[in-house]
Amino acid sequence: MEVDVDDESLEMPELDAQQLDFPPPGRRNPRKQSGKKSLSKSKMKKLLKQELEKERKSNVFHSFSAFYEEQYGSARWSSLMACLLSKPRVACLVNKYCNESSVPPSTNSTRVPFLKLPVYESSALFPHPERDTHNVFDYYLMDAASVLVTEALDLEVGDKVLDLCAAPGGKTLGILQQLDLLQGALVANEPSPTRSKRLSKVISEYVPANLRTSIRVTRRNGIKWMEHDLYDKVLVDAPCSSERHLLHDPKELGTWTPRRTENCAKRQLALLFAALRAAKLYGRIVYSTCSLSQLENDSVISKALEKGKLDFEIIQKQWPVGERTEHGWIILPDVSQGWGPIYIAVLKKLSTKPELFEECVEDLEELQDTDGEPLLLLPGPES
């Protein structure tokens, strides 16, 4: 049985810095490396190629590290990196839609104290979730900091919610735990067809069919979300550099350049504009990422503020775990008992001028176009 987890990073193995296999930059001699006196020309060529590739990756890793060291300082970055290399911490979100809940699922589990929702942590591994008589799973494994993102939406009875970047669906489930689906409604959007499938699967495994009629899964490019002034709450859990994931994927890490975070920031700003446009007057927008890069966090909010035309205010709140930033809040694993990384900023929309939001989006160049997917309705009881 497949156990869905909130974000793919939770599926990572533990590593230590040596396993990264990135020695300090500097050319090595393949003849010396092999320990043999004479090598054939082709073998020599192959070894040299391998050495060059190793050296290239090593250089990339060192510039990646230097980039974050500049932002966090060397002491903080080294403790942060050690935490990012360790296995992510997992909590268990109890599913209120399950009618046979055996939760807490292990005798060792204790409630995560900083959350309102019933979320448990345990020193032991959680067993696989179980299905009830309606085929609905009893709990979902995710980072407790991700649950906090959904609590930041401050959901109320009857809220109409848009989850703009929703797959694989951990935060969608967090939202669904706080919504009354008889009165409220949720639109969960994910443009990638495979990830959208996974999102639909997660929802259908955790919400009974008769309640799914209030949920829509869409496959649109969030940047081009055209509805405006419609939603009480909008979550933008934006695609980001996801450095924890990168550190566990040497191939991906080998492609890192500072451009990566700059490009992410552009797309994030466009998604934030779309979310601001979609929200109702005085509606709440929660912007979140799992990035460590300031460019993708506070700077995105600063840029939206700089635009001037966009009328919103920042709601600054003291959260029980993590650290304040200029415009929001960041939960980093080295000082937040292993939870995170998660950045959260909470905004309130103060004017309704959709044409201004469009102008702002048009200002951004080269935005990736993933539009064109039709609406996908989740199977309800009638199908």
> Rounded to whole angstroms, how far apart are CA atoms 317 and 329?
8
Closest approach of ligand SAM to the CB of residue 24, in Å: 33
Of residues 121, 138, 237, 243, which one binds ligand SAM by CB under 6 A?
237
Nearest Cα neighbor of 175 from 200, 183, 101, 166 is 166
237 is in an annotated binding site: yes
In whole angstroms, what separates CA 43 from the centre of its chain? 44
* Secondary structure (3-state) at 75: helix
String of DSSP letters for 332-375: -TTTTTT---EEEEEEEE----HHHHHHHHHTS-S------PPP
Position 346 contacts ligand SAM (CB under 6 A): no
82 is in an annotated binding site: no
Position 168 contacts ligand SAM (CB under 6 A): yes
166 is in an annotated binding site: yes
Interface segment toward ligand SAM; rule CB under 6 A; list 74-82, 219-227, 279-287, 327-335: 219-227
Instruction: Using CB atoms within 10 Å of the CB of residue 75, give its burial: 0 to 12 exposed, 13 to 18 middle, 19+ buried.
Output: exposed
Closest approach of ligand SAM to the CB of residue 377, in Å: 18
Of residues 105, 169, 333, 341, which one binds ligand SAM by CB under 6 A?
169
* Secondary structure (3-state) at 119: strand
DSSP element (H, E) containing 281: strand 279-289
Closest approach of ligand SAM to the CB of residue 239, in Å: 4
> Rounded to whole angstroms, how far apart are CA atoms 122 and 140?
14
Of residues 58, 177, 214, 221, which one binds ligand SAM by CB under 6 A?
221
169 is in an annotated binding site: yes
Position 222 contacts ligand SAM (CB under 6 A): yes
Instruction: Give me 30's structure tokens.
Output: 């393949």
Of residues 223, 265, 310, 342, which one binds ligand SAM by CB under 6 A?
223
Of residues 83, 155, 162, 166, which one binds ligand SAM by CB under 6 A?
166
Is 264 one of the catalytic residues? no
Residue ranges for the known binding site for S-adenosyl-L-methionine are 165-171, 190, 237
Q: Which residues bind ligand SAM (CB under 6 A)?
A: 6-7, 146, 164-171, 189-192, 195, 221-223, 237, 239, 271, 370
